[in-house]
Amino acid sequence: ETELLNIESVSSEQKAAALRKAGEIIREGGLVAFPTETVYGLGADALNAEAAAKIYAAKGRPSDNPLIVHIHDISQVYEIAEEVPDEAKAVMEKFWPGPLTIILNKKSCVPDGTTGGLHTVAIRMPSHPIARDFIRESGRMIAAPSANTSGRPSPTLASHVYEDMQGRIPLILDGGAVGIGIESTIIDMSTGIPTILRPGYITKDMLEEVLPEVKIDPAVSGRTMKKDVVAKAPGMKYRHYAPKGQLTLVEGDKDKVIAKINELVREKKEEGYKVGVIGTDETLDAYHADILRSIGSRQKPESVAANLYRILREFDDLECDYMYSESFFEQGLGNAIMNRMLKAAGYHLITL
Q: Interface residues with Mg ion (CB under 5 A)?
A: 146
Counting contacts by CB under 6 A, is residue 66 touching ligand TXA?
Answer: yes
List, in order, residues 6 or more apart from 123 with CB less than 8 Å away: 68, 69, 70, 71, 77, 80, 81, 101, 102, 103, 104
Q: Give the three-class secondary structure for 246.
A: strand
Q: What separation in angstroms does the CA of 131 have from each of 70, 116, 128, 319?
A: 9, 23, 5, 33
Smallest distance from ligand TXA to CB 282, Å: 28
Q: Which is nearer to ligand TXA, 118 or 172 (CB)?
A: 118
338 binds, among Mg ion, ligand TXA, none (CB under 5 to 8 A by kind): none
Q: Which is nearer to ligand TXA, 23 or 99 (CB)?
A: 99
Q: Which is nearer to ligand TXA, 72 or 260 (CB)?
A: 72
- Give the Cβ contact number of residue 263 at 10 Å: 11
Smallest distance from ligand TXA to CB 143, Å: 9
132 binds, among Mg ion, ligand TXA, none (CB under 5 to 8 A by kind): none
Q: Which is nearer to ligand TXA, 137 or 183 (CB)?
A: 183
Counting contacts by CB under 6 A, is residue 146 touching ligand TXA?
Answer: yes
The total number of residues written for the chain in this structure: 352
Counting contacts by CB under 6 A, is residue 186 touching ligand TXA?
Answer: yes
Amino acid at 152: R
192 torsion bin: left (phi>0), alpha (psi -120 to 50), beta (else): left
Question: For residues 267 and 250, is the Cβ–Cβ distance under 8 A?
Answer: no
Site string for ligand TXA, 265-294 (x = CB under 6 A): ------------------------------
Smallest distance from Mg ion to CB 321, Å: 25
Counting contacts by CB under 6 A, is residue 97 touching ligand TXA?
Answer: no
Contact residue for ligand TXA among 18, 91, 122, 312 (CB under 6 A): 122
Q: Which residues of 192-208 are buried (b: 16+ CB within 10 A; e: fewer)?
A: eebbbbbbbbbbbebbe
Amino acid at 178: V
Q: Which is nearer to Mg ion, 146 or 184 (CB)?
A: 146
Query: Which has the closest alpha carbon to 293: 335, 324, 270, 262?
Result: 324
Give me the residues that bind ligand TXA (CB under 6 A), please: 36, 38-39, 41, 65-68, 101, 103, 115, 118, 120-122, 124, 144-146, 183-184, 186, 197, 232-236
